[in-house]
Amino acid sequence: MSVYLANRVLRMIPVLFAVVTLVFLMLHMIPGDPARVVLGDEATEEDVAAFRAQLGLDQPLGAQYARFLSGLARGDMGRSYVTGRPVLLDAFERFRFTMLLASASLVVAAVVGVLLGIPAGARPYSAMSALIMVLALLGVSIPAFWLGLLLMLVFSLSLGWLPVAGTGTWQHLVLPTLTLSTWSLGVIARMTRASVADTMRSDFVRTARAKGLHERVVVYKHAFRNALIPVITVIGLRFGYMLGGAVATETVFNWPGLGRFIVGAILARDYPSVQAGILIFSVSFLAINLVVDLTYALADPRITYD
Amino acid sequence: MRQLSVVLAVTVALLLAACGGQSDTGTTQQEPGQAPQQEQEQEQQGDTAEKDTLVIANAVEIPTFDVQQVLGIDAIVAIANLYDRLLYLDADDQVYPWLATDWEVSEDGRTWTFHMRDDAVFPDGTPVTSQAVAYSIERAIGPDSPSSLSKTYLQMISKVETPDDYTVVLHTEEPFAPMLRHVGHQIALAILNPNVVEAHNNDLTTAVDAGSGMYKLVEWKRGEHLILERNEDWWGPKPYFKRIIYRPVSDPATRVLMLETGEVDVATVLPNFEVERLRQDPNIKIIETDSIRSMMFLFNWDKPPVDNVLVRQAINHAVDVQAIIDTVLNGYGKPATSPIAPNMRYHVPVHNYPYDPDRARELLRQAGVEPGTKIVIQSPQGRWPGDAEISQAVAGFLNEVGFDAEVRIFGDWAQFLETRTKDEFHLIMTAWAPGSLDADGTFNALFRTGGNNNYGGYSSPEADDLIVRGVQTLDGPEREAIYRDLQELLNEDLPYLLLHNSVSFSGVRANICGVNVRGDDAHIIKDARVCD
């Protein structure tokens, strides 16, 4: 197991290297001058040129890349062009908020999605299954920004139960979590249904029924455990998506997450902040993949990493 | 079991990243103050009788704590609370004494002498003296100083003298008419405590107690809130609110909802389509402000066919600006009558090109422009209210008089900035609001040869001469005459397609009085209080 883990961690390094290199090249290829964006309209051309020189942006691309890599090797990804603060720490601070929101949303999506998907998969052609799938489809179809505003109107403005936006208390987490979890809930419910329905056709399920086991035991203890692998995969992928794709939810609820941070940094051409944000996303996504792979071994005793 | 342990260990590591202790960066704290939980509960107190906290939702995040670098009017005004300045440019566009109690200017207009009060102190007890003023200016415009907002606003100062502790003398090479407005800018000449700045290695992002303003910093969490507490040692009349909390809320719909629920007391930059609905709410007051922002397109001065004045006249006649205001801006705005706004001093309503498509077609015939001539309009999207829609409407009007108009819209501001310097457009949108609220700010930037924002490339020796004379002539009838001549000249040369002057909206809870909005959207809260 430790060998396997070490291998996986080592294999992350070339992936991350490729990611930061690709992002570096893309940032320098897109139009837009960071110096002009940071200094604003009233700055003179001389000021802008001086600021570019200060940031090292007047150097050849190769020299800039070498300087970037040497900083990265020391754990220093530079300072934000906008704030002047170290970008890794700023990005990590925002990442904490994204992790909190994504984790809460994943728990809701996974638990509710699975709980809805199992009975729908056990009786795939029933009216209940159809209803659950319609709800799942709604969850997948409704845009996050629309749902978020709707939830605000109902629970904040009309009922006054929850705050509109921001952070600080558990109440602030409720509406963003409901908003972000909805799409993933729909996907997880549909995948669970499909996987359970497929597993219910297996021989061992017929055997379990033939042994006289209660239907609930057949479904939840035998069928579901065997249907878990694809569901775990989807849950893992959804978590990765939530980490990187929560920008709309973060914007509507003013949640200071990493998605908004990166989008803002791209618009401001704050190259170091973009690099730091994407690196953190990449590391977390790779770590999630690792957890998902290890979880397979829990779900299926036939899988081992020794 | 071992596999389960490993899975749990990695998962817990990820979750700890979310719930770990507070990091130092992106967060600045002056004093422990209240715990965030208590502050949130205070924020949600809303309209209680003991209200001592004013909560403001800003449209933008504060990008930096470096007072000489910060941009964006909401952010500027928020940070400005921590600092003092010599003068104060208030919401009524008048300059008032602040740390400087009185001032005079020499006969030749090149020497400004400010007399300071002697009872202002920095938080560490150091008196605020003329040396601190000199230090702040030197830091902004010294030979090694980086580019900054302060440098832009103070670079006309050629020498600073401090004959005594409470007298500052500023010299300029040439007379500089807007001197008081530049000195009274919210933050350009924010007075810094040299001891504190030096102790922080000249890094203003960490030297957070370098100011002597009416408020002190309690906590800044970037992207979340800025919490300020009243400076009880401040020299001036005590502001009503003990605490001010600024919250960056970029989504306008969220800002509106937070105002309606009372989570915030003030919400800046409201979308105009919400105004009528919010006016029906007895708990909310709408502040409507005539902005000094003038929307226009600049012509590419050397590019056919718009290098011909007849074509430029035709284009101004071809566009029904009032119709654009009525449809795109829901009726909020007024057709512009000059490149500077009517609520700016020296405005003269010179524009005499009313909507007349027949006249436009006649002028194009005279100019020899064939029907179907291509014309390129360049515009950002999401930068100014209705920008992209206005550009499309203008294209429609130009097509009606015979052009083949193409609109290039850039949702990415940085990309739009870059394309401004290329030669591919005939018209490029700009919406200019000078930070000094002085007419020179507009003329110098947009119409002087080589001006910072003269992307059309307009060049006229006569205009240049008037612009230079205008800034070098102190306020009075002579300056007024110069700017009248300049506006009439621009009206003849017509380097622009004039659009409108916008109206901006803010919302305030009905129990809050004294919030005033300046023409550049600065929300002045020094007089804010709970209504009597």
Instruction: Please name the residues in contact with B34: beta carbons below 8 A apart, sequence gap of 6 or more.
Output: B42
Residue B69 pLDDT level (bands cut at 50, 70, 90)? confident
The answer to whether the CB of A24 falls within 8 A of the CB of A77 is no
Decide if A153 and B147 are in contact by the 8 Å CB cutoff: no
The answer to whether the CB of B86 falls within 8 A of the CB of B168 is yes
**Among residues A82, A18, A98, which one has the least CA distance to residue A267?**
A82
Convert the pLDDT of each residue in B53-68 to its tens digit: 999 999 988 888 889 8
The answer to whether the CB of B244 falls within 8 A of the CB of B526 is no
On chain A, the residues whose CB falls within 8 A of the CB of B63 are 82-83, 268
For residue B436, the one-letter residue type is S
Q: What is the pLDDT of residue A5?
A: 83
On chain A, the residues whose CB falls within 8 A of the CB of B453 are 41
Give the one of A40, A89, A95 whose C-beta lies nearest to B17's C-beta: A95
- Beta-carbon-side half-sphere exposure of residue B25 (alpha carbons within 13 Å): 16
Separation in Å, CA of B134 to nearest CA in chain A: 22
Q: What is the pLDDT of residue A291?
A: 86
**Strand arrangement of the beta sheet that strand B157-164 belongs to:** B100-105, B111-116, B167-172, B157-164
Could you give phi then psi for residue B331, rounded to 5 degrees? 85, 0
Decide if A165 and B258 are in contact by the 8 Å CB cutoff: yes
Convert the pLDDT of each residue in A46-100 to its tens digit: 888 888 888 888 899 999 999 999 998 898 999 998 888 889 988 999 999 999 9
Could you give phi then psi for residue B291, rounded to 5 degrees? -75, 150
d(CA B297, CA B336): 12
pLDDT at B467 > cutoff 50: yes
- Of A233 and B325, which is predicted with more confidence? B325
Residue of A nearest to B261 (CA): A157
d(CA B361, CA B352): 17
Interface test mutation site (partner A, options B29, B204, B251, B443, max chain A beta carbons within 10 A): B251
Instruction: Please name the residues in contact with B223: beta carbons below 8 A apart, sequence gap of 6 or more.
Output: A94, A256, A260, A261, B26, B61, B248
Decide if B417 and A37 are in contact by the 8 Å CB cutoff: yes
Taken as a whole, chain A contains a residue count of: 306
**Among residues B54, B252, B261, which one has the least CA distance to residue A171?**
B261
Decide if B36 and A168 are in contact by the 8 Å CB cutoff: yes
Q: What is the pLDDT of residue B29?
A: 46
The answer to whether the CB of B71 falls within 8 A of the CB of B203 is no
**Among residues B33, B14, B51, which one has the least CA distance to residue B221?**
B33
pLDDT at A41 > cutoff 60: yes
Within 10 angstroms of residue A302's Cβ, the number of other Cβ atoms is 7
Separation in Å, CA of B3 to nearest CA in chain A: 7
Give the one of B19, B63, B223 whose C-beta lies nearest to A82's C-beta: B63
- The conformation of residue B525, written as its DSSP 8-state character, comes to -
Give the one of A33, A44, A169 whose C-beta lies nearest to B417's C-beta: A33
Q: Is A233 on the interface with B (CB under 8 A)?
A: no
**Among residues B277, B55, B222, B44, which one has the least CA distance to residue A254?**
B222
Q: Is A158 on the interface with B (CB under 8 A)?
A: no
Q: What is the pLDDT of residue B301?
A: 95
**Among residues B489, B401, B415, B475, which one has the least CA distance to residue B440?**
B475
Average pLDDT rounded to a whole number, residues B335-356: 96
Residue B9 pLDDT level (bands cut at 50, 70, 90)? low
Convert the pLDDT of each residue in A245-261 to its tens digit: 788 899 999 999 999 99
Decide if B254 and A254 are in contact by the 8 Å CB cutoff: yes
Decide if B152 and A95 are in contact by the 8 Å CB cutoff: no
Give the one of B7, B261, B453 whose C-beta lies nearest to A298's C-beta: B7
What does DSSP say about strands B496-509 and B284-299: parallel, antiparallel, or unpaired? antiparallel
Decide if A290 and B247 are in contact by the 8 Å CB cutoff: no
Decide if A287 and B10 are in contact by the 8 Å CB cutoff: yes
Within 10 angstroms of residue B111's Cβ, the number of other Cβ atoms is 16
Separation in Å, CA of B453 to nearest CA in chain A: 7
Pure H helices in B249-331? 252-261, 275-279, 309-318, 321-328
Q: Among all chains, which residue has been given the structure tokens 């009075």?
A: B476
Alpha carbon distances (Å) from B196 to B78, B82, B122? 20, 14, 10
On chain A, the residues whose CB falls within 8 A of the CB of B182 are none
On chain B, the residues whose CB falls within 8 A of the CB of A95 are 17
Torsional sign, CA A265, A266, A271, A275 = positive
Q: What is the pLDDT of residue B426?
A: 97
Residue B148 tokens read as 């900054």
Q: What is the pLDDT of residue B30?
A: 40
Q: What is the pLDDT of residue B40?
A: 44
Q: Which of A146-150, B141-145, B423-427, B495-499 is predicted with the least confidence, judged by mean pLDDT? A: B141-145
How would you write chain A as a 3-class SS string?
CHHHHHHHHHHHHHHHHHHHHHHHHHHHHCCCCHHHHHHCCCCCHHHHHHHHHHHCCCCCHHHHHHHHHHHHHCCCCCECCCCCCEHHHHHHHHHHHHHHHHHHHHHHHHHHHHHHHHHHHHCCCCHHHHHHHHHHHHHHHCCHHHHHHHHHHHHHHHCCCCCCCCCCCHHHHHHHHHHHHHHHHHHHHHHHHHHHHHHHCCHHHHHHHHCCCCHHHHHHHHHHHHHHHHHHHHHHHHHHHHHHCCHHHHHHCCCCCHHHHHHHHHHCCCHHHHHHHHHHHHHHHHHHHHHHHHHHHHHCCCCCCC
Separation in Å, CA of A48 to nearest CA in chain B: 7
On chain B, the residues whose CB falls within 8 A of the CB of A43 are 147, 152, 452
pLDDT at B155 > cutoff 80: yes
Residue B42 pLDDT level (bands cut at 50, 70, 90)? very low
**Among residues A108, A284, A94, which one has the least CA distance to residue B10?**
A284
On chain A, the residues whose CB falls within 8 A of the CB of B222 are 83, 90, 93, 256
On chain A, the residues whose CB falls within 8 A of the CB of B11 are 291
Q: What is the pLDDT of residue B10?
A: 55
d(CA A235, CA B155): 58
Q: What is the pLDDT of residue A304?
A: 72
d(CA A208, CA A218): 6
Instruction: Please name the residues in contact with B526: beta carbons below 8 A apart, sequence gap of 6 or more.
Output: B214, B239
Average pLDDT rounded to a whole number, residues B488-496: 98
Decide if B6 and A294 are in contact by the 8 Å CB cutoff: yes
Decide if B257 and A93 are in contact by the 8 Å CB cutoff: no
Considering only the C-alpha atoms of chain B, give the largest distance between any 2 of them, rounded to a whole number of Å: 90
Could you give phi then psi for residue B227, rounded to 5 degrees? -110, 125
> Which residues pair with residue B172 across a beta bridge?
B157
Considering only the C-alpha atoms of chain A, give the largest distance between any 2 of them, rounded to a whole number of Å: 85
Beta strands in B438-479 (DSSP E): none
Q: Is A58 on the interface with B (CB under 8 A)?
A: no
Could you give phi then psi for residue B334, rounded to 5 degrees? -135, 140
Mean pLDDT for all residues in chain B? 90
Decide if B64 and A84 are in contact by the 8 Å CB cutoff: yes
Average pLDDT rounded to a whole number, residues A130-140: 90
Separation in Å, CA of B265 to nearest CA in chain A: 14
Residue B5 pLDDT level (bands cut at 50, 70, 90)? low
Return the percentage of chain A with pLDDT > 90, whole number: 43
Pure H helices in B45-120? 73-80
On chain A, the residues whose CB falls within 8 A of the CB of B13 are 287
Separation in Å, CA of B452 to nearest CA in chain A: 6
Q: What is the b/e burial string over A249-286, where b = at least 16 CB atoms within 10 angstroms of the residue's CB?
A: bbbbbbbbbbbbbbebbbbbbbbbbbbbbbbbbbebbb
Angle at CA of residue B218, ends B217 and B219, nearest 5°: 100
Average pLDDT rounded to a whole number, residues B177-201: 94
**Among residues B31, B65, B81, which one has the least CA distance to residue B204?**
B65
Decide if A100 and B37 are in contact by the 8 Å CB cutoff: no
The structure's pTM equals 0.88
Convert the pLDDT of each residue in A185-231 to its tens digit: 999 999 999 988 888 888 888 888 888 888 888 777 777 777 888 88
Convert the pLDDT of each residue in B358-387 to its tens digit: 999 999 999 999 999 999 999 999 899 999
Separation in Å, CA of A205 to nearest CA in chain B: 27
> Which residues pair with residue B432 across a beta bridge?
B294
On chain B, the residues whose CB falls within 8 A of the CB of A291 are 7, 10-11, 14
